[in-house]
Amino acid sequence: MLAGPFGTMVLGDLGFEIIKVEEKKIGDYTRHTPPYRNGLSAYFFAANRNKKSIIVDLKRPEGRNIILDLVRTADAVVENFRPGVMEHLGLDYGRLMDANPQIILVSVNGFGSTGPLRDKTSFDLVAQAMSGAMALTTPDDGEPIKPAIPLGDVGGGLFAALGVVRALLERKITGRGKHLEVSLLDAMLAQAACVGEQFLLGASDSERPVRLAPNGVFPTADGFIALAAYTDIAWAALCKALGCEQWQDDPRYRTMADRSNAAEEIRARVNSILAGRSTAHWLQTFSASAVPACPIANLQMVFDNPELEARGMLPSIPNMVTGPLRTFGNPIQRHGRPYRAEMLPPPLHGQHTEEILSSILAYSPERIKELMESGAVAGLQPESAGAVKS
């Protein structure tokens, strides 16, 4: 699951120290998901910068005690096991509170620890399908379309991060910790709340929601253009720019609500005109007449966007395995600057085991050696230094 790691990465970007606890054999499975550069998985890279990695065998009592020692030094624990696993490991919220009465626990899972789907396996795609997000994205009855942004994972992660800072703020006032839970399915529904409310209120009687119009992607002679001309002002500007002022007087298109109801008809009319000229032509025309529109950017265009560069949204992260890699920064800026001046690369598997045991937990070298030998912990794993994956 990408959700938990993404949520803690957002917090790490704000300056939190993030300790990632992994098991020895495989570790975070996204370490082994293609594509790679010199053994670094893009998946892992996408959700694990600014973290430290420790390998602990949670199934051993010594391993569990190390976690409880870490909990004594920590503000919050974020976990994304299936429901029941933390209890099984002896790490339920009661045990964590015994170690640190003020600890905050945020659990991220597929469908929640209560309810009929508690034990069902989830992934981003599962949450996207079952929440209606794919259906909302699919314009017809054909093959469902998956949103390219993994909204199940990143949404779950964002709500988890929100839960951590919210619980920290409450703790500041009440002195008490909290156990919050978010499921990927519920996080998906909450992101669509604004669209979904119409079903609850009976404002839409079909399976598809009522949408703003014209608002979407429209084909041109040589590609596509995004257009958001649904307000009265933007609609008037569009009618004028297309040379169709008479549309403004059409009683079927008078208000925003009217245009929503006539969305398909408006789309067909706009399509028939836009299809006659190039994207460049329309971008220029719309720009000159204040019609909200823009091109469909590919990733190269995003990385060449000087605005993003100027705001520090495309930081370069040093990396001993791959050399420096650019990535997307964190959008939260304080006084116009990113919280972190420098990003740290994602950790190698077990890279910080010894450092964490000695400097954070102040274990003696003898004790660390003993734990290493017994297998309760492990140091840097050779396969994470850039072995070829298949």
Partner 1 sequence: MTSKSRAAAKSGFEESPYQVVEVTTTHAGAYAGRQLAEAGLPVLRLELLDKPGQQLPPMTSGGFSAPYLSLNGKKENVRVNGASAPGREFLARIIANSSVFVTDVPDLFTARSALVTCRLHVDSVCVAGDLPSNDILVQAMSGALSMTGRLEGAPTPIGIPVGDVAPGLFAAIGVLFALVEEIPQTISIHSLDATVSLLSYLGCSFLVSGAEPGFAGSGHPFVTPYGAYRAKDGYIIVAPGFTQVFWQNLCRMLGRSDLIDDPRFRTFTNRKNNRADLQKILSTAFAENTVEEWEARLDQADVPNGPVRSFRQALEHPVTNVRGMITQVHGLPFLNTPLINNTPMDGMADRPLGARGWRQALGRLGMTGADVAALGENGIVSPGYTPFSQPTETEVYKGSTPSQTG
Q: Considering only residues 348-387, where is the footprint of partner 1 by CB under 8 A?
A: none
Binding segment for partner 1 (CB under 8 A), chosen from 55-63, 141-149, 244-252, 350-358, is 141-149
* Closest CB to partner 1 among residues 328, 364: 328
CB atoms within 10 A of CB 282: 24
DSSP, residue by residue, 307-345:
HHHHTT-S-EE--TTTS-EE----S-EETTEES-SSPPP
Which positions from 208 through 227 interact with partner 1, judged by CB under 8 A? 208-210, 212, 215-217, 219, 224, 226-227
DSSP, residue by residue, 348-375:
PTTTTHHHIIIIIS---HHHHHHHHHHT
Question: Which of 99, 189, 244, 372 lies at the binding interface for partner 1 (CB under 8 A)?
Answer: 189
CB atoms within 10 A of CB 130: 19
Contacts of 302 (CB under 8 A, 6+ apart): 308
Binding segment for partner 1 (CB under 8 A), chosen from 55-63, 123-131, 240-248, 270-278, is 123-131
Least separation in angstroms between CB 162 and partner 1: 5
Q: Distance between CA 13 and CA 312 in Å, rounded?
A: 13
- Output the CA–CA distances (angstroms, integers) from residue 370 to 89, 305, 363, in the order listed: 22, 52, 11
* Closest CB to partner 1 among residues 210, 361: 210
**Residue 194 touches partner 1, criterion: CB under 8 A:** yes
**51-56 and 36-37 as β-strands: parallel, antiparallel, unpaired?**
unpaired
* Closest CB to partner 1 among residues 326, 369: 326
Least separation in angstroms between CB 378 and partner 1: 21
Binding segment for partner 1 (CB under 8 A), chosen from 57-65, 121-129, 353-361, 378-386, is 121-129
**Residue 187 touches partner 1, criterion: CB under 8 A:** yes
**Residue 233 touches partner 1, criterion: CB under 8 A:** yes
DSSP 182: E
Question: Which of 25, 148, 175, 306 lies at the binding interface for partner 1 (CB under 8 A)?
Answer: 148
**Residue 306 touches partner 1, criterion: CB under 8 A:** no
- Output the CA–CA distances (angstroms, integers) from residue 41 to 23, 171, 379, 385, 390, in the order listed: 18, 37, 20, 12, 11
Binding segment for partner 1 (CB under 8 A), chosen from 143-151, 241-249, 274-282, 364-372, is 143-151
* Coil vs helix vs strand at 228: strand
Binding segment for partner 1 (CB under 8 A), chosen from 60-68, 326-334, 348-356, 378-386, is 326-334
Active site amino acids: 153
**Residue 321 touches partner 1, criterion: CB under 8 A:** no
**Residue 159 touches partner 1, criterion: CB under 8 A:** yes
**Residue 122 touches partner 1, criterion: CB under 8 A:** yes
**Residue 193 touches partner 1, criterion: CB under 8 A:** yes
Q: Distance between CA 36 and CA 45 in Å, rounded?
A: 10
DSSP 305: -
**Residue 40 touches partner 1, criterion: CB under 8 A:** yes
User: Is the Cβ–Cβ distance between 132 and 185 less than 8 Å?
Assistant: no
Helices (H) and strands (E) in the chain, counts: 19, 15
Question: Which of 52, 178, 349, 352 lies at the binding interface for partner 1 (CB under 8 A)?
Answer: 178
Question: Which of 117, 273, 344, 368 lies at the binding interface for partner 1 (CB under 8 A)?
Answer: 117
Which positions from 267 through 286 interact with partner 1, judged by CB under 8 A? none
As a whole number of Å, the end-to-end CA separation of the chain is 20
